[in-house]
Amino acid sequence: MASLKEVKERITSVNSTQQITKAMKMVSAAKMRRAQDRVTGMRPYADKLASILENVTAALGNDFSSPFVEAHDEVNSVLVIVVTSDRGLAGAFNANIIKEGSRLLNEEFAAQHKAGRVEILGVGSKGTDFFKKRGVQTNSDYVNFFHEVTFEEARKAAEYAMDGYVSGKFDKVVVVYNEFKNVATQIVRTKQFLPFALETAESTDENDGNEADYIFEPEKEKILSELIPKTLKVNFYTHLLDSNAAEHGARMTAMDKATENAGELLKELKLDYNRSRQAAITNEILEIVGGANALAEG
């Protein structure tokens, strides 16, 4: 059995840890609410932008082209954008993303990975550090990204992928991130970023007999040349906002569980302390009684 001093020191240490985890939970809760508001505010804009693009492309049919839409003949090189956090203590938040990124390298893009034709764009230091230590070609320009998620920073990362695709450096770009569902649930998503998959709206002739008629100003080529890149950047920004909210939700849940575990451990330590103290008192009483008996016999 541990001494009273050792148990008391452990109780003090666990108490301090519990205070820290409790404070981190409160901070994450506040940050998560702000991040959640940004996600819910951004999604309608992203959905509307996608709807506009869908309607315009449906009206044009196949009478348009874009370097972001056209698929390359062969997929020889791949860019995998891995969105993790810059800090830990968030449960399985980063581990799940790293696991999915590793699966892509070892299964879906195994041939390209073996040939050294896969690059990891790590948004967040955790994923960047993991793949860099394992010798994977890694772009680390976007670590420490989540201090403040802004569209400007998201635009830079998206443009790196877009420029690489247009120039032929990459034949395919995928994004791996956590989608925020609620405080306790984050869903790992793997989405193709490039080539951009256009969803063509079904003709409304069968439903109401009306045919959409658009007047383009400026010309349709210029509209699409601006609308498609804008949609790509907004989609990427939305993914980052999702990941940011999911990170704070995961950290809040992890710190809540750590606080509970610390409370359970404190109960056990206090019970051990009381037992040790009771044993020490009993030994002292026995020594006193034994000494008194010896004196009486003498």
Question: Element (H or E) spanning 83, and its range?
Answer: strand 78-83
Task: Domains for the chain: give ranges and CATH numbers.
Answer: 4-25+255-292 (1.10.287.80), 26-201+210-253 (3.40.1380.10)
pLDDT tens-digit readout, 141-175: 888 777 778 888 899 999 999 999 999 999 999 99
pLDDT of residue 91: 87
Query: Which pLDDT band holds residue 8 (cuts at 50, 70, 90)?
Result: confident
Read off the pLDDT band of 176 (50, 70, 90): very high
Helix (H) or strand (E) holding 245: helix 220-297
| Dist CA 10 CA 17 (whole Å) | 10
For 10-37, give the secondary structure using H, E and C: HHHHHHHHHHHHHHHHHHHHHHHHHHHH
- The DSSP symbol for 189 reads E
* Eight-state DSSP code of residue 105: I
Query: For residue 62, what are the CA distances in angstroms to 50, 56, 65, 105, 223?
Result: 18, 11, 8, 34, 15
33, with CB counted inside 10 A (0-12, 13-18, 19+), is middle
* Rounded average pLDDT over 53-78: 80
Characterize the bridge pairing of strands 137-139 and 118-123: parallel
What would the pLDDT profile of 110-120 be if each residue is shown by its tens digit? 999 999 999 99
HSE-up (13 A, CA, CB side) for residue 127: 33
For residue 78, the SS3 value is: strand
Specify the pairing of strand 78-83 against strand 185-194.
unpaired
Average pLDDT score over residue span 98-125: 93
Rounded distance, CA 102 to CA 114, Å?
13
Q: What is the mean pLDDT of the chain?
A: 85
